Structure 1
């Protein structure tokens, strides 16, 4: 009895690029095959620790050899069990080289997952500035909203990544409105400024105010950003004091 062929998904997860390439050269259609987590071999290469660029290159080379253009596109944009495409996963892991590779292959920078979040949302959450800059250069939308009605700006404000925040504030959307929506409320009524104060990120809060964020806009309960207690109240108090030092007192 002939030995079974190696599992291309496992080869990709292991970063075994040479054997993976051999298997895909023998049968390029294997590159479209999904595992139990609805991932292609390409997505498995991205989930390897660390992400295997060489395994991803083998997958993309196999995709290029497919005759069926629809199958090719479907494999590149396949959403896994939570809807993450290869590009979204690569942006989350922080592999700039992988993101470059996928964008070069034509990956959709505007693709969303089951939470309606884009690769830019996840780059903002992780503070991956170089990846964020590349995504924006390739048409990423600074005003893309996820299911919670949050922009990448909300994500960066929550995590306190000042460099990423500056990147977003200096960018434009490919669709009207072109400027970042500083005062958009998320599903809970929180603007990016609310989230920066609540999370204790003083410099981010000041950067938002200096860019034009509305200090008087209330959340769903009418609470203004600088009136939020935050976690334990201590950090939010420090943020409020810093804001007053830099921007003056809040109107009564």
Structure 2
């Protein structure tokens, strides 16, 4: 017998984290897992909106792939569901990385989700993990082939995002990693669209330890921004904080050489 639960209710069940009823509906009609709501989200994506995000609902959606009308695992329809983009372009994997749910991320990667998928801003899951300082998420993504040198629309790498938030552990993670593409090594001195290197952003945001970590990792202290200003010459956060950052860098790395 076909499920009597309408499509919109499947999405509601996922948002509410009602895994038992969602599983029943998908067992009756597996094709509902490929449906999208008014926000272009599948039940799989809506499972991440539950409070807390529902691992059981995600598992119910992934199990439904076995019964899709086009043959289940390995077929195009499974990929279409996994890589479905919501209204801002986020896939389920990008959303899982953004909220820092390692268990769900692991399930999605195991099902074949693309770790290098991008949203409307060309941001990857690794960009979001870096912004939030989710080191375990970043480590898993990189181990599965995430590109540490992926550029978003602002020409920022995940390293720019980690530097901006001062996430020293994440910076260490990137410095110790390789890209599956060329170049393999982290691009420490890449200018973003605003003309800033990761080192500029770390200093400007007042993150002294992050700045030192970048310098010790090979960042160029003489690399100018769009105006030719070196990282340690920018105003930064201003006042006492900016002075403290510069003093700490000099203490750890020595004085900036005159040009």
Q: TM-score range by the shorter chain?
A: over 0.9
TM-score (normalizing by structure 2):
0.94
Structure 1 residue 10 corresponds to structure 2 residue 16? no
Give the corresponding residue for 2:51.
Answer: 49
SS for the counterpart of 1:245 is: helix
DSSP-derived class of the 1:101 partner = helix
- Counterparts of 1:172-211 in structure 2, within 5 Å, are 172-211=178-217
1:81 to 1:234, Cα distance in 2 relative to 1, 3 A: farther
SS in 2 for 1:124: helix
Residue deviations 1:161-181 (CA, integer Å, cap 9, x gap): 111110000000001111000
1:26 to 3, 28, 31: 28
Q: Distance in 2 between matches of 1:157 and 1:106?
A: 30
Q: Residue 176 of structure 2 aligns with which residue?
A: 170
Give TM-score scaled by structure 1 length.
0.97
1:73-121 residue CA offsets vs partner (Å, 9 max, x unmatched): 1111000000000000000001000100100100000100001010000
Query: Structure 1 CA distance, aligned partners of 2:66 and 2:99?
Result: 24
Q: How far, CA to CA, are the matches of 2:229 and 2:69 in structure 1?
A: 57
Tell me the equivalent position of 1:243: 249
How many residue pairs get aligned? The number is 250
Q: CA deviation at 1:49?
A: 1.5
Q: Does residue 61 of the first structure (1) align with residue 63 of the second (2)?
A: yes
Match of 1:147 among 141, 150, 153: 153
Give CA deviations for 1:210-246 in whole Å, capped at 9, x if unaligned.
1110111111111111111123343222111100000
Tell me if structure 2 keeps the 8 A contact 1:33–1:40. Answer: yes
After the TM superposition, list the runs of 4 or more consecutive aligned residues in structure 1 that deviate by more than 3 angstroms: none
Answer yes or no: is 1:129 the counterpart of 2:141: no
1:219 pairs, out of 213, 221, 225, with 225
For residues 236 and 48 of structure 1, the distance between their equivalents in structure 2, rounded to whole angstroms, comes to: 41
Displacement after TM superposition at 1:12 (Å):
0.4
Structure 2 gaps, min length 5: none
Structure 1 match to 2:38: 36
Give the 3-state SS of the residue equivalent to 2:122 in structure 1.
Answer: coil
CA RMSD, aligned part only? 1.2
- Quote how far apart the aligned CAs of 1:70 are: 1.9
Quote the Cα distance in structure 1 between the aligned partners of 2:239 and 2:190.
Answer: 24
- Residue ranges of structure 1 left out of the alignment (5+ in a row): none
2:48 partner SS:
helix
Query: SS at the partner of 2:64?
Result: helix
Residue in 1 that maps onto 2:237: 231
How far is the alpha carbon of 1:4 from its aligned partner?
6.0
Q: 2:31 touches 2:69 (CA, 8 Å); kept in 1? A: no
Aligned twin of 1:110: 116
